[in-house]
Structure 1
């Protein structure tokens, strides 16, 4: 049963208009708006983190002319205007000087539904546009089709599509639901904790991935699990599938390779961390991990 929680980057008021991709052409017309992206950054109208909307550019903007990048059709904005992404290899000087650029990680959770949906699609598609130019079968340069949503190899006629790699992410609680189990990754600084996550292996069901990852990383056995929500996470092309799970294991054991510390937190400790009144650091507001933690914390108040 799905909960009412919706992660930040899953709240989309953006119409992808996929039925138009085969007929719309390979570049925006003069009436379209364009969102340039570089890696996971996009221009905003104010400083990053302020909740500012994205800065869309007219397709006729001189600074876009001759930019080193690839176009793809994103869909229709709330006003009905065609919206395109321009995935940049380098930011042209005219764009770099004119606006602030912000990372999806930083501002994704602060954007409105339409801009949030557009940005996660733009970053996801933009990475594929720039990283997958060659055919994996024969190595030839492929050609963009469907307004940037597919490629075709002219040599072996192999069709290519943007790839999504599923991963599970899990909020683990005790049977009473009064404590939350979190782990600290070896690559993070001291005091940073998050939910447990891992990629789904070939041929593996999501439920099996949840059980395997929690046992591997925290040394605990899952007794029950519930699907919560999913969210795209384009680093570089993940789909994070969120679960809540229950374990009776009292003493977790970190694997010592990826996870260096595992511990139980009560609601007071999580509340202090969410309020910034603790040395414990939690995931950023754009992540589904943060959404899972906040959902658990609020559940005691419902």
Structure 2
């Protein structure tokens, strides 16, 4: 087990001890989701300006256009040169509208793949910062190949020869998040969430009522501590007291330490070994079990 993973594991155990060793309640899970979505929480550009002050953003997918919901480029800081890709939600109403609330279309994922290819050619590590309620579900995005773009992004990440780290810094929901999450190491901030679908989307499917989002969240428990226990996240990164939104500088400092240690460990591996371990990691994730019957009111069959 890596040094970063051991430290992240110790933090999770301390977190569990603070909770008295009891499972998280629906109320606690919902509180975490609200923290993950907090409007003052640091977004990718907030981390990039602190960790990679020399950053050159790249635009466009060379096919259709540019997608502001994805920020991507080459940065340099104390860790050396890296490729950084992230979902950017926007801080106010105007910017959130411009960035489509952090929900990328296919051109956003094609832009991300373009930067991944550049990183692979230049032997630069790839760091992704995940914070999205999901890929944009509009008809235009589907017509331009949304599903295929997400699938190819995942395939591209599996084939990278360079080290790769994904960090869920806020909410990581659906394929929109997973498209940037197939990496050597997956980190989650203490109050981040990672799930196959947003609570509202899950409730709309299970009960045909998005208002039951709390029930859906309680059922699939998307918190960082749970994702670590299930082997989905390798590391849980602590946040400043009260949440990352309270102190952006400290949140970036804490995250930077964990990322730097993981990069050193990954650089020590041969590219072929990294690719093999990456593929093995995702083959191990998941287990089949009957869960629908345990959730009251879930339609059967």
- Please classify the TM superposition score into its range, dividing by the shorter chain length: under 0.3
Higher strand share: 1
The TM-score, its normalising length taken from structure 2, stands at: 0.24
Larger-gyration structure (1/2)? 1
Higher helix share: 2
Scaled by the length of structure 1, what TM-score is found? Answer: 0.24
